[in-house]
Structure 1
Amino acid sequence: MTPDVILQLAVAFGLGLLLGLERERKEDPIAGIRTFPLIALFGTVCAQLSRPLGGWIVAVGLAALSAVLILANLAKNKTGEPDPGITTEVAALLLFAIGALLVVVNITTGVVLAGVMVIVLHMKEPLHRFAGAVGQKDMHAIMQFVLLSLVILPVLPNANYGPYGVWNPFKLWLMVVLIVGISLGGYVAYKIFGSRAGTLLGGVIGGLISSTATTVSFAKRGAQPHLAGLAAVVILTASCVSLGRVLVEIAVMAPAQFPQIAAPIALLAAATCAVTAVFYLRGSHATERLPAQKNPAELKSALVFGGLYALVLVAVAFSKEQLGDAGLYAVALISGLTDMDAITLSSAQLAARGQLDASTAWRAILIAALANFLFKFLIVAGVRSPRLTRSVAAGFGLIALAGAALLVLWD
């Protein structure tokens, strides 16, 4: 017996134990902690035998397992056991396939698939709770995201058009899907945790959906003196998460240039998180229900962002060619006031294409980030809550100092 064969059998047995332990806790009469390892080993052995004997043996093994599961269900029904569904049966069939996958494809793929399966099985209650919480509007949001990503995106041409050749319909819409997808993830988290989210989680969810919208909502709430501290922490947390969004966008658009562009942005994000942590530890830990969030997958919103992104792409390319770095930074300052995504994606895209230096790209993104902090501070100041304004001014002021230091000192 070769080392590869032993390793495949050992991994299959371990994965079977893991799945069996999860099913045993559900007290399913069909299969548990002993049966699942045997099913995994059965799949692996069938795949190993298929090499000298042919692939038909895997098909026969799967058919035999299916027959056993059918007989087990018939016996269970005769005893009057309630019908809990077919989750265990499907898990058993999939585990057999994973056992074969360890041999036919590779061990890593089988382990990842088994890990996903055990997580899905274990999260029965949260998943059912989420499904129960999904209403008509939420399904509308999900279906609109399907429209954006699976219907519109595949049919768009993947070629460069327009001034400076920066308009690629497929890549442009792909970025729309990316931004909407991140926001939709926050919206899903809001639907799951919205009424139970604490201060930090509320800020995280708000930052995923829209840090500017979160600032507007909590600035209004912070007008009440007893909620000013909580509102400041949520606003700071959402701003910290928004910088995390920026890092993800850079990684997607310019993976090769990511280390050079992302390093100073990551330091600014770290400084923002540090300031947020200080405010959180110093303040009260009262909680406030998150305000209602809008569907981030609305087609109108996606089209508006796509149009804004297209305009910023041209503005950045034009400014760089005609006005130099100073013109680009002016565009970043103006664009960043209300939206950081467009300038981040456009700068990273041009850097990936070699039309923009990495150092220029990160400076443009950082300037946009500082402009966005300024805009959010003006929103807070407009509420005229002295306590909230002082808190946000102190937090954003420290972050702005960190950003200015990076602009001056970072090479």
Structure 2
Amino acid sequence: MRPPTADAAGRERLGLMPAPLRIAIPIHSFEPGGVERVALNLASAWRAAGHDVRVVLGRDEGADRSRAPCDLDYWSLPSRISTAAFETLWMMWCLFRYLRREDTDVVFCAGNTYAVVCVVMRLLIRRRCPPVLVKISNDLYRCDLPPGYRHLYHLWLKVQRAMLDRFVALAGPMNREIVETLGITPDRVVTICDPALTAERFAKLSGIPREQAAPLHRGLRFLAVGRLARQKNLPLLIRAFVGGSHASDTLTIVGDGAERGKLEALVAALAMQDRVTFAGHVVDPDPFYRRADFLLMSSDYEGVPAVAIEAIAAGLPVIATDCSSSMKTLLGHGSRGVLVPVGDVSALAAAIGKAGRIPRLDAASRSYAETFTIECAARKYLAAMRSLAARPRQEPGSISRRAAASVASGVPPASTRCQSDKSPSA
């Protein structure tokens, strides 16, 4: 157990210099995922700044284990059986055990996936539960859901509003989205651009040379990068590529996941094996950015997708579904790529067919990605956590009563982004 120190509020009252923050970060495992990768990079930056950071692991394993920062302090509970099948329940138990034994100033909830873990901590530990800073990593409007499911999802958001403390928007447009869907005051939201890159990696990607016009001597090379998961709606992407691409164009899909078998079967059924390649999970995707001409995205929902930021830094125009309130800003309202409606295979196919007409990214467009670096974000996160740690903790029972009242008050109005109650087809 770490030696106890005066908490941030106590030191502030005494007029002392603030102590290093004691930060806990729950992470399921080292399986590939943008939320986890960004959290570990932030943790390294906070540790380098002198703070006491613990990564509370559900499983000390995963395909990205070798890429995990070696300077971090990892904490986990041993288990005689694999916990992968019930990783969320196991994560709750691990974080509960950790918070019961270790003094912690703030819990950093790295993405929406971990919100349920942090809500359960607040219910179990109550007053002893440290304040929670939540990074909103996905779209909250969720127009992809049928109306009934969307209603339930918005009820769940209101529980988070009552139980958790402060929320991070990953880009300016997300700030309004969080305020509207959670029904909170603006002071409970802080905007910190998604730290998808380090300064070093931005320099590497932005140094990739690019042709200034569509190549005449070969077909276009399209790239998709990410987990092969349902959220990404890759069947739609594959069908759009088949419908809109020219005979000499190719598509490379980088990533792995539960959907891979179905996707490979779809490519085989469409007789596209010679033009669609599955690269699998790779440690370093940058060579694929170097060889590609365009990035394709077909997600049903996202937060601020790191892959789009990486592509912009590498000089790739992005052709994507309008899967987030931040996408228009991210793509510079057309200067860095093209947006099509979510779930619209015909519109995505048409954009792929006209890709040769999309302007290439100049140096100014590529420099936009520099906004999304760990170095810029780490300091802002620390300031937000410092202000949370200085606040008095809730009295026992106050949160649960507030949660009940919150849920009873209903759900926020439907977003203007949800123009239809029909779920987009894959």
TM-score range, shorter chain: under 0.3
**Higher percent of residues as strand:** 2
TM-score (norm 1): 0.24
For the pair shown, the structure with the greater C-alpha radius of gyration is 1
TM-score (norm 2): 0.23
- Greater RCO, 1 or 2 (C-alpha within 8 Å, sep 6+): 2
